[in-house]
Amino acid sequence: MPKISDEAREARRLQILDAAWRCFDKEGLHATTMQDIIGVSGLSAGAVYSYFKSKDELIFAAVTTSLDRLSTLLGEAIREGRPASAPELAGLLFPLIARFAVRDGYDLRRIALLGWSEAQRNKRLGAVMRGYYAAFRDELGRLAAGWGLRSPTEADAVAKLLLSVLLGTVVQSAILEDVPGEEIALGLSLLAR
């Protein structure tokens, strides 16, 4: 049997994850079956199971792959853009989140809600998600420290607020579907007056 390249293997893995995201968006994490994912992927059961041994493993990979890519994207944007205020940060990040999340056939913001719920049940997933969000909040705190705050405690408080705004916007976007990032940036600037 010919050996496939690492690139081809990763492409196949992403094909399966794309099918899982489509199914999760449509039916939820637990109503979706492996047969659903196999059917949408267009691959054989053997091919899918050679990458993911169970649906729990697939859920874990779907959530962590999304978080890993989003964390990298947002971290790079913050480091390159160096926003000087919360409204600037919102103006920078919310369009990136929307472009990242809205895909052809599914919206990762809706799937994020499912992942947060699953993390309450699945301790391994919960621990990994806490790690991602704690690291991102730390990055927000380092950024906020440069905004003329008086102490590390103030920077930490601002970081917690900013993470709440970011996660809350994901929730509103998933549920209400009418929360453009520009409005959040405007709201933050109005509060800062």
Q: Residue 177's closest CA among 104, 107, 73, 105?
A: 107
Query: What architecture does CATH give domain 6-191?
Result: Orthogonal Bundle (1.10)
- What is the rounded average pLDDT of the residues 90-97? 90
pTM for the complete prediction? 0.88
What ranges do the domains of the chain cover?
Answer: 6-191
pLDDT at 179: 72
| Burial readout 83-97 (b: 16 or more C-beta within 10 A, e: otherwise) | beebbbbbbbbbebb
* Beta strand ranges found along the chain (DSSP E): 102-103, 106-107
What distance in Å separates the CA atoms of residue 145 and residue 159, rounded to the nearest whole number?
9
| Helix, coil or strand: residue 1 | coil
Q: Is the pLDDT of residue 159 over 90?
A: yes
* Backbone torsions φ then ψ of 94, nearest 5 degrees: -65, -40
Band of pLDDT at residue 59, cut at 50, 70 and 90: very high
Find all residues with CB under 8 Å of 96, minimum gap 6, and list them.
73, 74, 77
Query: Please, are residues 127 and 67 in contact by the beta-carbon 8 Å criterion?
Result: no
